[in-house]
Structure 1
Amino acid sequence: MPKSFFADMHIHIGRDMFNNPVKITGAKTLTLTNVLKEASRNKGIHMAGVIDSHAPAVQQEIKKLIGAGHAHELDDGGIRFENVTLILGSEIEVYDENCRGPLHVLCFLPTLEKMEEFSEWLTTKMKNITLSSQRYYGTAKQLQYKVKELSGVFIPAHVFTPFKSMYGKGVHQSLREVLDPDLIDAIELGLSSDTMMADQISELHAFTFLSNSDAHSLPKIAREYQEITMEEPSFKEFYWALHNVDDRRIKRNFGMNPHLGKYYTTVCSQCLEPLAADAIKCHQCGSKKIVKGVFDRIQELKSTEKDNKDRPPYLYQVPLEYLPKLGPKTFTKLLEHFQTEMNVIHYASLDDLKEVIPEKLASSIIDMREGKLSIKAGGGGKYGSVTTS
């Protein structure tokens, strides 16, 4: 009988085991080993997609963990470390003759051997294999064919963000302009959109939606994630869940209210003044540099008002660190008492919480769980904020 597991499938590596940068903007503490420990011990998620696994030094660290007996490869794909399964992924920047702006995609492979083969192929298509999210020189469809040749999973990343995404800057009206839809396994929504927003675009109705963190630091892991019904956390079960095979499925998406995303509203990129969707220049500072928000971009693209009733629920949630007056000491107390952040967010009762933290803060956690927190919208690269009563 399938069980439920929490998964965040978009986590970066900041530094490799030799302290060399992988994701330039990633935190230095964001090493592979630290990611796995944080996911297993503190976050309480069961599956972690590390999307810089193409880097040779990251693969070397995985082999070191396996050699030391701290991790092992699963027969159905993935690498088990304590209570979390590592799924090997790579985020790649595509900009071929069909792209009128660069876009990011996620490629997941079932085994370390397959990922090493993928990396070897990428060295002929990429200038620096050691870094994250590098420009790939080839067509998007060629990349899809290679991923499928290696029995992998292909997912367009954060498809609505203004920069480096499928629908981003207004240049693409359809994913068919760049990609083969038959070789897409799922769509990653990104922090400024949710299921209801994305389902206004009819060509997306055929795809499973994922909500992932795109974490650039340890605390950001699982700021968005999903609950997946599987037999166990493995690559094969993940693939089956994306395609609804034998009761495997995405059960619930958990994500921040889109208003909290840093690209939800259209704003002036200079002074961050909120602007109308059709604004040509900022009425506040006069700048013509405008970042179109995800909400307005989806309004341009939308082709239907129809709700997709078959979708799993998308539940608004924020990481505990977003809650006002929940500082590091309080966070540590909660973890000491409830073990993981998932336990605090999903399972601790109000009475249980009040035994550890002040009643007002305990109530805020319950309000957050129920999607009742007040939100101030973000835009232009600035995150929104949470307010509590």
Structure 2
Amino acid sequence: MLSVYTADLHIHIGRDMYHKPVKITASNNLTLPAILKEATRNKGIDMIGIVDCQAPAVLQELKQLIYQGIATELEEGGVRFESVTLLLGSEIEVYDERCQGPVHVLCYFPGIHEMELFSDWLSKRMKNISLSSQRFYGTAIELQRKVKELQGVFIPAHIFTPFKSLYGKGVLQSLTEILSPDLIDGVELGLSSDTYMADQIKELHGFTYLTNSDAHSLRKIAREYQHLQMKHPSFKEFQYVLNNKNGRHVKENYGMNPKLGKYYRTVCSQCLSQLKRDDSICPNCHSRKYVKGVADRIAALKDTDKGNVARPGYTYQVPLEYLPGLGKKTYEKLLKEFGTEMYIIHQASYEELANVVQNSIAQSIIDMRHGKLHVHEGGGGKYGSIK
């Protein structure tokens, strides 16, 4: 019997069990125990991917939770904590001689044993195995082959972001310039793109699309996610989903309107004024430096108007923290009343919401659910906003 489960598969660790940094730009409160509790008790999601599990201290803490009986390693891969399954992942930066620039990729493994083998292998090809998203000294295809040797999953991360991504920095036209397509299990779209934008590139039609939060704080968990149709949350079932095997598949992607992403539009890197696609000089400050927007990069790569007809739907959502007037106290009040953020965003009626918060906020949540909110576009590292 197949059911639908919610998954956010790109979450970082801010600090390890010794209070040392893992993802330097992430919140100090983003610890392994805090992530597990937030995911299951507040967010109401079923599967998470923690992408800094190659760090020895993170592995040590995970094993400690299992030894204490707080978590359990699953036969089909993954680690169970209360009602959430954790997939062990690693985000790595690749920049070999074939790359035009650095590229981030995500590697996931069935269990602790495979991740320990991978961590040991990486430590001989990386300067600091304890930090997140570090440079891998080897070729992209060498990394792909090692992941497959350890029965892992290989996914290019936030593929259009202007910095450190496959199309944003790594290649001129095609992913085949640096990667073997046969060793790719899926691709992650990133906050500034969606299914419809990505499907304008024909070589992506054969891959499963993932939409993840890339969370650097607890509040950012599940700002993007997907519904997966599978038997139960495990690594093996996740592999089936990526390959559309035995009825398993991505049922729906849920992500922010790409215009809310911080790299949607091309902007001047000096004053952040938005530029037209053919602008070579900023009309505001006359600088020639700019940050290429995802929308413009995809337009330059576009080679088809026909999308993958079998592709699941992409539903726009706005994280509650983006809604004007919805502060921390209101957020906590909603959680206390409804239990999880998933219920608030997708299920609570206007009448239910209006009994807890101001009518204007209740209406904003309903309007957000139906894509009726006006969005001011983001770019150059600055998120878009809701008006």
Length-normalised TM-score, structure 1: 0.98
For 1:371 and 1:246, how far apart are their aligned partners in 2? 33
Per-residue CA deviations over 1:180-208 (Å, capped at 9, x if unaligned) read 00010001000000000000000000000
**Structure 2 residue 226 is matched with structure 1 residue 223:** no
Mind listing any 5+ residue stretches in structure 1 that lack a counterpart?
none
For 1:55 and 1:173, how far apart are their aligned partners in 2? 33
**Aligned residue for 2:99?**
99
Give how far 1:213 is off.
Answer: 0.5
Contact persistence 1:170–1:297 (CA under 8 A): no
Per-residue CA deviations over 1:301-359 (Å, capped at 9, x if unaligned) read 01001122211100000111111111111111111111110111112122111111122
**Aligned residue for 2:47?**
47
SS at match of 1:252: strand
Shift of the 4–57 alpha-carbon distance from structure 1 to 2, 3 Å rule, reads same
For 1:82 and 1:371, how far apart are their aligned partners in 2? 33
**Aligned residue for 1:90?**
90
SS at match of 2:167: coil
The one-letter code sitting in structure 1 at the alignment partner of 2:163 is F
SS at match of 1:336: helix
**Aligned residue for 1:64?**
64
**Aligned residue for 2:248?**
248
Give how far 1:281 is off.
Answer: 2.1
For 2:252 and 2:283, how far apart are their aligned partners in 1? 41
**Aligned residue for 1:163?**
163
**Structure 2 residue 132 is matched with structure 1 residue 132:** yes
Contact persistence 2:5–2:46 (CA under 8 A): yes
SS at match of 1:144: helix
SS at match of 2:120: helix
Contact persistence 2:13–2:31 (CA under 8 A): yes
Give how far 1:67 is off.
Answer: 1.3
Deviation >6 Å, runs of 4+: none
For 2:18 and 2:169, how far apart are their aligned partners in 1? 37
Give how far 1:170 is off.
Answer: 7.7
Shift of the 170–149 alpha-carbon distance from structure 1 to 2, 3 Å rule, reads closer
Contact persistence 1:374–1:386 (CA under 8 A): yes
For 2:100 and 2:358, how far apart are their aligned partners in 1? 52
**Aligned residue for 1:109?**
109
The one-letter code sitting in structure 1 at the alignment partner of 2:267 is V
**Structure 2 residue 343 is matched with structure 1 residue 340:** no
**Aligned residue for 2:374?**
374
Mind listing any 5+ residue stretches in structure 2 that lack a counterpart?
none
For 1:366 and 1:310, how far apart are their aligned partners in 2? 29
For 2:90 and 2:47, how far apart are their aligned partners in 1? 16
Contact persistence 1:241–1:248 (CA under 8 A): yes
For 2:154 and 2:164, how far apart are their aligned partners in 1? 16
**Aligned residue for 1:260?**
260
Contact persistence 1:158–1:189 (CA under 8 A): yes
**Structure 2 residue 288 is matched with structure 1 residue 288:** yes
Sequence identity percentage: 65
Q: Which moved more, 1:344-353 or 1:265-274?
A: 344-353
SS at match of 1:200: coil
The one-letter code sitting in structure 1 at the alignment partner of 2:319 is P
Per-residue CA deviations over 1:86-130 (Å, capped at 9, x if unaligned) read 000000000011101000000000000100000000011100000
Q: Which moved more, 1:352-361 or 1:264-273?
A: 352-361
For 2:364 and 2:371, how far apart are their aligned partners in 1? 10
Per-residue CA deviations over 1:333-386 (Å, capped at 9, x if unaligned) read 111111110111112122111111122211111111111111000000000001
SS at match of 2:28: coil
- The CA RMSD measured in Å over matched residues stands at 0.9
For 1:29 and 1:211, how far apart are their aligned partners in 2? 23
**Aligned residue for 1:361?**
361
Contact persistence 1:169–1:292 (CA under 8 A): no
The one-letter code sitting in structure 2 at the alignment partner of 1:40 is T
Q: Which moved more, 1:163-172 or 1:215-224?
A: 163-172
**Structure 2 residue 306 is matched with structure 1 residue 303:** no
For 2:277 and 2:141, how far apart are their aligned partners in 1? 32
